[in-house]
Amino acid sequence: MKVFFGGSFDPVHLGHLLVARDVLEELKVQEVVFVPAYQAPLKEPHKASPEERLHMLKLAIENVNGFSVSSIEINRKGISYTVDTAKELFQELKDKPTFLVGVDSVLNLHLWKDPATLVKLARFIIVDRGSKGKEVKAYLKERFPELIEDTDYIILSIRRIDISSTEIRRRVKEGKSITWLVPACVESYILSKGLYK
């Protein structure tokens, strides 16, 4: 099974990579595919261009077994709605794609574009870093009663990694080090390109 991990990745950091590795190992999935958004809905415009964010992801996962990058949302341009990606992947895979999503995002699923279609077209791995499993189950039962745990979604408790892209951008702007927050190759790229200054 392939798992699709969407996000801004502005920039990709070790938190993203550790979550993906935990999913790969815990669930024995075949591959985690990182899907950078052209423009994420519900977010400010990205600081790095789509091409720069795609390139940083490619650098970060180079030679890592079980990781790959898809430019499906970047090629489509415009606002990257998960339901549009799900439709495209459903056509391509002839099966429901599985998306890796954070627990906080899922609790806003009713605000996503066309959630009723999305939950018909896709499965979800919900990563829970803050023991919100019960809350998620209650929310899904109320809002999307047709979804069945372990069939349409699973909740995976994983380590809590307190790194954010916002913090990394702020540190770069303030001239502070981002060593050990992002892969060394990504740090070099950010500094060489003068990103986030």
Q: Identify whether 33 is part of a domain.
A: yes
185 falls within a domain = no
Domain that holds residue 103: 2-161
- 152-195 pLDDT tens trace: 999 999 888 899 999 999 999 999 999 999 999 999 999 999 99
CATH for 25: 3.40.50.620
Structure confidence by residue, pLDDT tens digits, 1-50: 999 999 999 999 999 999 999 999 999 999 999 999 999 987 788 999 99
The angle at the Cα of 20, spanning 15 to 23, to the nearest 5 degrees, equals 125
Instruction: Assess if residue 178 is contained within a domain.
Output: no
> pTM for this structure?
0.95
The pLDDT of residue 161: 87
Domain assignment present for residue 135? The answer is: yes
> Domain total for the chain?
1
How far apart are the C-alpha atoms of 57 and 130, rounded to whole Å? 26
Q: Please give the C-alpha separations between residue 145 and each of 60, 137, 142, 170, in angstroms, as whole numbers.
A: 38, 10, 6, 41
Cβ neighbours, 10 Å, residue 172: 21
Q: Give the CB-side neighbour count of residue 179, counting CA atoms within 13 A.
A: 2
Q: Other CB atoms closer than 10 Å to residue 89's CB: what's the count?
A: 22
The position carrying tokens 């981002």 is 178
Mean pLDDT for the chain overall? 96
Confidence of residue 130 (pLDDT cuts 50, 70, 90): confident
